[in-house]
Amino acid sequence: MTLRGLYVITDGACCTSAGLQRLEAVLRGGASLVQLRCKPQPPDRAWGQAAAALGRRFGVPVLVNDDVGYALAIGADGAHLGRDDGSVREARTRLGPRALIGASCYASLERARQMTDEGADYLAFGRFYPSATKPEATPAPLSVLTAARSLGRPIVAIGGILPDNGAALLAAGADMLAVIDGVFGQPDIEAAARSYLPLFRSGDESES
């Protein structure tokens, strides 16, 4: 599948039975990929299965942050792994060849090369702007997006991304923009998600 567009990561308020309505709102708003990020641990299996079913209803893959076992238990489409979450190869063995597995690369091309060699389906870099979710995260330069294009994997940018600053990331080489507060921190979640979509249409027009 082609990975391009808005990549929405859930906030804590999503990780409740009532929070599934928030997830549905971003799907209606045009999210292309969803990651279930529920800290310190995910809700029960029934919640996860309902979230995965929502994704299938909209034709949008649903991934699980960090927890490959939970991804397997709820029938998610894959997982997203950070530096302390095990290897991509191990996740592939457990989730199967069709699973979508992404990896956080922070600002490191060296890690990105390693994750590519392990078989990651996409590479995520950031943060690029001040982030409400991870204010302590090390900043990443735009140049890392451009350099990572040579690795031949879809590129995800994350960290403080808003509709008015995302264009620079796409121009530098990102395929997807990952957001949390940019949608869930807004009063109208569906409208907030939808406000990112013109960024991708503009990029498509400039390439044609």
Query: What share of the chain in percent tops pLDDT 90?
Result: 88
C-alpha to C-alpha distance for 114 and 110, rounded to whole angstroms: 6
Please name the amino acid found at residue 186.
Answer: Q
C-alpha to C-alpha distance for 96 and 90, rounded to whole angstroms: 10
**Is residue 37 annotated as a catalytic residue, yes or no?**
yes
CATH number at residue 77: 3.20.20.70
3-state secondary structure 138-177: CCCCCHHHHHHHHHCCCEEEECCCCCCCHHHHHHHCCCEE
> How much is the mean pLDDT over the chain?
94
Residue 208 predicted with pLDDT over 60: no
Catalytic residue among 4, 28, 94, 134: 134
Taking only the tens place, the pLDDT of each residue in 82-138 is 999 999 999 999 999 999 999 999 999 999 999 999 999 999 999 999 988 888 888
**Is residue 22 annotated as a catalytic residue, yes or no?**
no
Contact present, 38 and 13 (Cβ < 8 Å): no
Domain assignment of residue 169, given as a range: 5-207
**Is residue 108 annotated as a catalytic residue, yes or no?**
no
What pTM, to 2 d.p., does this model score?
0.95
Number of compact structural domains in the chain: 1
Contact present, 123 and 83 (Cβ < 8 Å): no
pLDDT band at 206 (very low <50, low <70, confident <90, very high): low
Taking only the tens place, the pLDDT of each residue in 35-69 is 999 988 889 999 999 999 999 999 999 999 999 99
Catalytic residue among 37, 92, 153, 194: 37
Catalytic residue among 22, 32, 92, 104: 104
